[in-house]
Amino acid sequence: MPRFFIRTFLLALAASWLVPGLRAQQTEVVLSATSSAKLVLGMTSPKISGLDAATVASDFTAVLRKDLDETGVIAVLAERLPADGAPAKAWKEAGAQWLLNAKLTKAANGDLQMEASAVDTSAEKGVFTRTYNANKIVPLRYLAHYLADDLVGRLTGEKGVASSRILFVRQVSPGVKEIFQVDRDGAGLVQLTRHGSLTLAPSLASDGRLAYITYKGGAPEIWGQRRKDGPHEKFYPTTAAGGMLSSPVWSPDGKRLAFVQGDRRGNSDIMVLDVASGRARRLTDGTGINTEPSWNPNGNQIAFTSDREGGPQVFLMQDDGSNLRRLTAEGLYNASPAWSPNGAMIAYVSRFEGKFDLFVYKLGEGKAYQITTGVSTSESPAWSPDERLLVFTSNRFGPLQLFTTDLSGRQIRRLTELPGCQSPRWIRGR
């Protein structure tokens, strides 16, 4: 489905390349994001007031347990559970290192309050306490997400991603694709665009502004928001048609968009648009295809895919186009780079014998590690905000759907059962 050259520029209806490359001689190496040791957490049944017990069990307790089990750093105790009200010592003997208690209260006006605390079962001392207040329109499961994220933050120093969201493109009818948003757990589906055309390649600025490609006017245009929650308007081209456009990506400071502009000869180049002035400048000027830009966290380098040396490979350059160098050294087809949030790694896709797999290149080591293997295709990697996971698309159950994986490749989970998905982007929130 992501066929690098054909899809992006030779077929206008495909718009952005979601393709890849694997290496024939690549040795699979497991890349672990975190230590295999997990903190074992015991959970008592929440105390409730003004809420239905069955609703709390399904919309809070089950969601919280799932959120924590999927963090990779916390394991929820599931066997030999002491009775509610048992002392911390009993939970320690059962294997829990922390014990979590929560109280949920629903006021007469529908507002929610949650009081949560955790104790170290060995020291019998508090390690976490927090009160959450939410109005009546906030789903109960969101309180579970917030609590899971804060517990991970207390344990690791970095907030979890249970309350994060994923943007993606989905085909809604023949010739029509729109941008959607879904919660980290696959719930809360929201449609963000309704152009009734091909709408592709979503990117979100750090302050929540959206940018994307749409064919609503016939030719591809870059549209987006100049302020958070503001109207969607055309960014580029400002005058005549801009040729084939794809892959707009916000810079970390939210002032620029890197994007791809092609010509009638089938060539394409990386461009940078100053959003305030509307001025665009070209960073690459060679023949061939240069595409799929991805900023580093500092906004001074860009990773991209280019066929300048034959088949598609991942290259790096400064944000002014200087210091161009090739990153991927092995394999005939490497593409779709995605720079990690802390800048130490670049995920990409590699093709071998007609299928695509995810790889992660560790810049400090100068080495690439294979994440997925198998008979199915894995494409379009994007990082979770905490850098522990990747979201991607795969055809392992038929049509392309959204999946997540840890960096060992052992914990692959299907995010939704929605077919026809592409171009996922993982965000903290909107």
Question: What would the pLDDT profile of 225-252 be if each residue is shown by its tens digit?
Answer: 999 989 999 999 987 766 899 999 999 9
Residue 304 CA to residue 292 CA, distance in Å, equals 5
**CA dihedral (81, 82, 88, 89) positive or negative:** negative
d(CA 165, CA 183): 4
CA neighbours closer than 13 Å in the CB half-sphere of residue 400: 21
Mean pLDDT of the region 77-96: 93
Q: At 37, is the pLDDT very low, low, confident or very high (cuts 50, 70, 90)?
A: confident
Average pLDDT over residues 205-215: 96
Q: Where are the alpha helices (DSSP H) in 113-165?
A: 140-156
User: In terms of Cα–Cα distance, which of 110, 95, 129 is closest to 50?
Assistant: 110
SS3 category, 261: strand
Please state at what angle helix 140-156 crosses helix 62-69, rounded to 10 degrees: 30
pTM as predicted: 0.88
**Rounded distance between C-alpha atoms, residue 335 and residue 389, angstroms:** 19
Please tell me what DSSP assigns to residue 391: E
- Confidence check: pLDDT of 305 > 90: yes
Question: How far is the C-alpha of 393 from the C-alpha of 336, rounded, in Å?
Answer: 12
**Span 284-308, average pLDDT:** 95
3-state DSSP call for residue 371? coil
Check residue 112 and give its pLDDT.
96
pLDDT value of position 28: 34
Task: Say how far apart CA 118 and CA 128 lie, in whole Å.
Answer: 5
In this prediction, residues 272-280 reach a mean pLDDT of 96
Task: Confirm if 220 and 246 have CB atoms less than 8 A apart.
Answer: yes
Task: Give CATH superfamily name and number for 39-156.
Answer: TolB, N-terminal domain (3.40.50.10070)
Residue 9 — very low, low, confident or very high, per pLDDT cuts 50/70/90?
Answer: very low
**Distance between CA atoms of 345 and 205, rounded to whole angstroms?**
20
Strand order in the sheet with 244-250: 244-250, 256-262, 268-274, 280-282
Task: Report whether 95 contacts 77 (CB < 8 A).
Answer: yes
Is the pLDDT assigned to residue 284 strictly greater than 60? Answer: yes
Q: Where are the domains of the chain?
A: 4-33+162-427, 39-156
Percent share of the chain, pLDDT over 90: 83
119 - beta bridge partners? 99, 126
Other Cβ atoms less than 10 A from the Cβ of 405: the count is: 20
CB 291 within 8 A of CB 17: yes
For residue 200, what are the contacts with CB-CB under 8 A and spacing of at least 6?
Answer: 15, 16, 169, 177, 212, 213, 214, 246, 422, 423
Helix (H, G, I), strand (E, B) or coil at 5: helix
Q: How far apart are CA 384 and CA 152, in angstroms?
A: 14
Output DSSP code: residue 26. P
Q: What percent of the chain has pLDDT over 70?
A: 90
Q: Where are the beta strands (DSSP E) in 121-209?
A: 125-134, 165-173, 176-183, 190-191, 199-204
Ramachandran bin of 303, using left for φ above 0, alpha for ψ from -120 to 50, beta for the remaining angles: beta
Strands 98-106 and 47-49: parallel
* Residues 348, 305: Cα–Cα separation, whole Å: 10
Strand, coil or helix: what is 128?
strand
Lowest mean pLDDT among 3-12, 130-139, 197-206, 276-285: 3-12
Q: What distance lies between CA 164 and its chain's CA centroid?
A: 9
Listed range (4-13, 210-219, 225-234) with the worst mean pLDDT:
4-13
The string of pLDDT tens digits covering residues 351-405 is: 988 899 999 999 999 999 999 997 789 999 999 999 999 999 999 999 999 999 9
**Concatenated DSSP letters for 211-256?**
EEEE-TTSS-EEEEESSTT--EEEEE-SSS---EEEEEEE-TTSSE
SS3 label, residue 153: helix
Cβ(17)–Cβ(354) below 8 Å? no
pLDDT computed for residue 242 by the predictor: 64
Strand order in the sheet with 313-318: 290-295, 301-306, 313-318, 325-326
Q: How confident is the model at residue 5 (pLDDT cuts 50, 70, 90)?
A: very low
* CA dist., res. 219 & res. 244, Å (int): 8
Average pLDDT of the residues of the chain: 90
The residue with greater pLDDT, 10 or 219, is 219
Tokens of 370: 């294979």
Superfamily for 4-33+162-427?
TolB, C-terminal domain (2.120.10.30)
